[in-house]
Homo-oligomer: A and B are copies of this chain.
């Protein structure tokens, strides 16, 4: 019997845990699920056999070593910042590990040590990053396999509410860790556009947006997602004119979200004064100059150029940010206060469905003409528990970790799933879960504007 150790049993682990519980008997597995909350872990395995739940504290060194040393594969769905520590422990015990998180520079530095110990640390195995890498790499190799030259690659993904469930003025709800949504974009964006390197700082990110058109779904906004340039190496693309990764939102979201960025309300670097007794209204006011002769709404309107009565001002009002309700919790950062306010408005309700939308654009030259392949994945969740986010993050993590457990992925070291022996079977198996890309090829007109 082999042991699958899954650490972190939050929302995005639902499908991952389910995948293994379904197969535990047949595969002769014991599925061990740990979480900082024992109740959370226990709820996920309730009613199943061949499994156990336990309270897990990653900073408890003895427990961390004990659990990892007893596992045959380690799957970490813990917060990304904990992964270098996890990886070091896995390397010490010669255990392979899988995560859905971005491989940090600290993680990448462990590559040599992992190779020497014959350990595989596979990162970025979720949806974005994850399915995006795998599906892009498959198409890139298909284009190159035909001897054609790829000239541009753009890839965007969004975790959104499904069509029909955009029933609030923002057309947005949290389908993912709210904290990650609030801190999204903090490092700005770096990419390549028509041969020019472009750098967008955080405070300009949400006003420097691009628009994409998705068949049957219409227009969406895209803002730049971190450092696109480093993925030239990952994908082996060195002569591109354009290389851009983005995050998708519904129209109007970015402009409204930018209000919080401009105010400084997404800052997570300092503790505000007396957040226990501060009201929502005072929170917003604290980011603007002292003036007592006009209301906070009008002050905000003047400060950031948001017309009173505009759709955008209505979006802001709907959130309750101008209310006299107290935050009620001491010692919060601005980002934590904002999260408290937004969670009350943006949580998925029973019956709500979410959606993962991913669109790649591959431009290549064929017989002197420029062509573009749109490759689009639309995946709708079942409900507010079995979400599209949980499925698209959890299933590739599950499939990849299973392949490693079964010895089907040979390389050692710190990797991303852009290896053919990895992405081909994963994408194939994901089709069983209706995760299919729709392709369309068009001739590119001579010039078109974007970011």
Chain A residues with CB under 8 Å of chain B are 187-188, 190, 193-194, 196-204, 208, 227, 229, 262-264, 267, 269-270, 272-274, 285-291, 334, 449-451
Contacts and interface: CB of A to CB of B under 8 A. Distances in A.
Contact of A187 (B202, B269, B272): B269
Contacts of A193: 290
Given A187-B269, A201-B263, A201-B267, 20 more contacts: A188-B267, A193-B290, A194-B290, A196-B290, A197-B273, A197-B286, A198-B286, A198-B288, A198-B290, A199-B264, A199-B267, A200-B264, A201-B203, A201-B262, A202-B203, A203-B203, A203-B262, A204-B264, A208-B289, A290-B450
A230 to B, nearest CB: 10
A266 to B, nearest CB: 9
A451 B264 contact: no
Contacts of A289: 198, 208, 451
Contacts of A269: 187
Which DSSP category, helix, strand, loop or mixed, fits chain A's interface?
A: loop
Contacts of A188: 264, 267
Contact of A285 (B196, B203, B270): B196
Given A188-B267, A270-B190, A287 B199 contact: yes
Contact of A201 (B198, B227, B264, B291): B264
A197 B227 contact: no
Nearest to A188: B264
Contacts of A187: 269-270
A388 to B, nearest CB: 32
Of all A-B residue pairs in the complex, the 8 with the closest CB atoms, nearest first, are A201-B264, A203-B203, A193-B290, A197-B273, A197-B286, A194-B290, A199-B286, A199-B287
7 contacts: A194-B290, A197-B274, A201-B203, A201-B267, A203-B262, A208-B289, A290-B450
